[in-house]
């Protein structure tokens, strides 16, 4: 199986914009905490985190729309494709309204009997969060339609533009000495840019729905969308709950200030998770359209290269966090938060394992096996929640990080073995190479740290040098070594 030029361009775009989005988010998080205050930001992080979590709870319609539209287009069922766009729009709208109205009483129950903020009442946190949830759901519709054509770069551009707008508002709040209100407006503005930008792109590209509501409802496309979407939804929402549930346990047990710090670290995980999808996502329409073709070797080769590229990229983040987590966190959020360095190191290992796990989810889903992924993610969710119940009350944020890592670590071999059955993915060899690469890069960062400590180099200089050497290694590996040797090393011919 060959990767189309369009998919290659999308992957290139994503490799460039992914680190940019992650970097901008890292810059804006400490500004948000400073403008709002740690406690108030912790409350907003919980409310907006719930909205972000439910914003992904689209009944799996996002992935289903991408897959089904691509498949029907490849089969030249143009009328069915048009009806599906209209039906999907109605489903997304109903779902967004329902989830937004459900979120407000649910979060009221979470905060019941607890002091929230001296500046704002709880409703001024919940109403904007619910509004942003509705916008997130609507943006997922238009983004899914766009991505079904293999066009992934519009979302990246809009994401960067949204972060820039958010940054401008936060800087204004920083200069004027504003409080939590500016942070709320800033976060919602990024969502507004995404929803309206994607809708305008879809409209001017001529790929929007046809609004034949009656005929669309009778076309029979609803069942295929939901039939494929339900297991995909269970997979997606379970995965996200596994990532976000520890935050809510920290907020309940350790307080809002600790929740603010853990939310900042979780944002790294969520940004990385989004970037993983950007690298593997461009292959989804292509694999879905050719799912009936038996080419396990080609699919396995694509899977191997996706994992190795993600490993090269994500190790640039993970290695410094493992070696110098205390210093990095102190320089990022402030010296008073450097004690959370072990939390950052533990979460970074979980990010690394998730990078090895993520491509297989996309490939298995595209090949028509969403149920396999769904079962594993439901188990991951349940295991993480149970671990949080036992670990967070006594160990706080560190216990939450351990729960996340153990959940992913325990189910990782199960996921890889099932993926091998579906695609022929050689997971043992690939995982060994990835762990070896991370170990060597971490050793390089550690040696550099020792030399810089002897030279009494300031923390900023150390961070710049760590970033430069990791970026250089990552670029060389992803650009030259993986394309040339990745498939040959991991795939033996029978």
- The per-residue DSSP string of 113-172 comes to TS---SSS-THHHHHHHHHHHHHHHHHHHHHHHHHTTT--HHHHHHHHHHHHHHHHHHHH
Closest by CA position to 333, among listed 240, 403, 260, 230:
260
pLDDT at 4 over 60: no
| DSSP 8-state code for residue 478 | I
CA quadruple 31, 35, 36, 38: dihedral positive or negative? positive
Q: Token pair 């109205």 is at which residue?
A: 101
Where on the phi/psi map is residue 211: left (φ > 0), alpha (ψ -120 to 50), or beta? left
Query: What number is the average pLDDT over the span 322-335?
Result: 85
Phi and psi torsions of 425, nearest 5°: -65, 120
Are 258 and 33 in contact by the 8 Å Cβ rule? The answer is: no
Q: Token pair 């297991």 is at which residue?
A: 231
| DSSP 8-state code for residue 492 | -
User: Tens digit of pLDDT for each residue in 330-361?
Assistant: 888 878 888 888 999 999 999 899 888 877 77
| DSSP 8-state code for residue 179 | -
Are 235 and 377 in contact by the 8 Å Cβ rule? The answer is: yes
The average confidence (pLDDT) of the chain is: 79
Of the two residues 392 and 220, the one the predictor is more confident about is 392
Closest by CA position to 205, among listed 58, 92, 75, 85:
85
User: Tens digit of pLDDT for each residue in 83-140?
Assistant: 777 777 888 888 889 889 988 998 888 887 677 776 677 888 899 999 999 999 888 8
CA quadruple 381, 384, 387, 392: dihedral positive or negative? negative
pLDDT attached to residue 132: 93
- Tell me the C-alpha distance between 335 and 338, whole Å: 5
- Tell me the C-alpha distance between 429 and 432, whole Å: 5
pLDDT attached to residue 444: 92
pLDDT attached to residue 493: 45
pLDDT attached to residue 9: 53
User: Tens digit of pLDDT for each residue in 261-270?
Assistant: 888 888 788 7
| DSSP 8-state code for residue 369 | -
**Residue 427 to residues 32, 409, 432, Cα–Cα distance (Å):** 40, 14, 8
Global pTM value? 0.74
Of the two residues 271 and 229, the one the predictor is more confident about is 271
- Tell me the C-alpha distance between 57 and 53, whole Å: 7
Percentage of the chain beyond pLDDT 70 is 77
- Which long-range CB contacts under 8 A does 448-456 form with residues at least 24 apart? 449/323, 449/324
Tokens for 271, please give them: 């940004």
Are 111 and 122 in contact by the 8 Å Cβ rule? The answer is: yes
CA quadruple 373, 374, 376, 381: dihedral positive or negative? positive
Are 426 and 300 in contact by the 8 Å Cβ rule? The answer is: yes
- Tell me the C-alpha distance between 425 and 413, whole Å: 12
Closest by CA position to 415, among listed 386, 460, 377:
377
Tokens for 49, please give them: 């985190």
Tokens for 161, please give them: 């533009």
Of the two residues 476 and 119, the one the predictor is more confident about is 476
């Amino acid at each position: 199986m060959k990767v189309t030029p369009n998919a290659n361009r999308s992957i290139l775009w994503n490799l460039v914009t992914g680190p940019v989005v992650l970097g901008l988010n890292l810059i804006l998080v400490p500004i948000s905490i400073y403008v709002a205050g740690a406690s108030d930001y912790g409350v907003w992080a919980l409310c907006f985190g719930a909205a972000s979590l439910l914003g992904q709870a689209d009944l799996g319609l996002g992935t289903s729309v991408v897959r089904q539209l691509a498949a029907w287009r490849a089969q030249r069922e143009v009328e069915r494709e048009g009806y599906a766009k209209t039906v999907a729009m109605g489903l997304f709208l109903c779902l967004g309204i329902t989830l937004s109205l459900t979120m407000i009483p649910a979060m009221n129950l979470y905060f019941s009997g607890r002091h929230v903020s001296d500046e704002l009442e709880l409703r001024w946190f919940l109403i904007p969060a619910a509004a942003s949830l509705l916008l997130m759901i609507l943006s997922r519709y238009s983004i899914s339609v766009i991505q079904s054509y293999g066009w992934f770069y519009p979302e990246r551009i809009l994401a960067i533009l949204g972060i820039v707008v958010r940054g401008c508002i936060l800087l204004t709040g920083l200069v004027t000495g504003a409080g939590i209100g500016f942070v709320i407006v800033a976060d919602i503005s990024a969502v507004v840019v995404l929803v309206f930008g994607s809708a305008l792109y879809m409209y001017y590209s001529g790929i929007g729905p046809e609004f034949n509501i009656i005929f669309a409802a009778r076309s029979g496309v609803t069942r295929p969308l939901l039939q494929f979407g339900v297991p995909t939804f269970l997979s997606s929402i379970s995965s996200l709950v596994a990532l976000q549930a520890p935050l809510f346990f920290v907020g309940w047990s350790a307080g809002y200030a600790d929740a603010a710090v853990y939310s900042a670290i979780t944002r790294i995980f969520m940004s990385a998770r989004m970037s993983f999808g950007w690298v593997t996502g461009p292959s989804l329409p292509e694999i879905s359209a050719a799912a009936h073709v038996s080419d396990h070797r080609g699919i396995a080769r694509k899977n191997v290269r996706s994992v190795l590229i993600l490993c090269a990229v994500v190790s640039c983040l993970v290695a410094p966090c493992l070696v110098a987590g205390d210093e990095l966190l102190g320089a990022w959020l402030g010296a008073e938060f450097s004690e959370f360095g072990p939390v950052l190191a533990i979460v970074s290992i979980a990010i690394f394992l998730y990078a090895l796990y993520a491509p297989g989810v996309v490939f298995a889903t595209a090949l028509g096996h969403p149920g396999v992924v769904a079962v594993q993610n439901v188990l991951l969710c349940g295991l993480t929640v149970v671990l949080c119940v036992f670990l967070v009350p006594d160990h706080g944020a560190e216990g939450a990080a351990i729960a996340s890592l153990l959940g992913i670590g325990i189910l990782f071999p199960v996921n890889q073995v099932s993926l091998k059955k579906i695609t022929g993915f050689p997971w043992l060899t690939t995982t060994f190479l990835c762990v070896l690469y991370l170990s060597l890069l971490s050793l390089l960062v550690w040696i550099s740290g020792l030399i810089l400590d002897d030279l009494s180099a300031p923390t900023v200089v150390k961070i710049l040098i760590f970033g430069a050497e990791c970026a250089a290694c990552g670029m060389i590996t992803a650009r030259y070594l993986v394309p040339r040797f990745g498939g040959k090393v991991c795939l033996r011919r029978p």
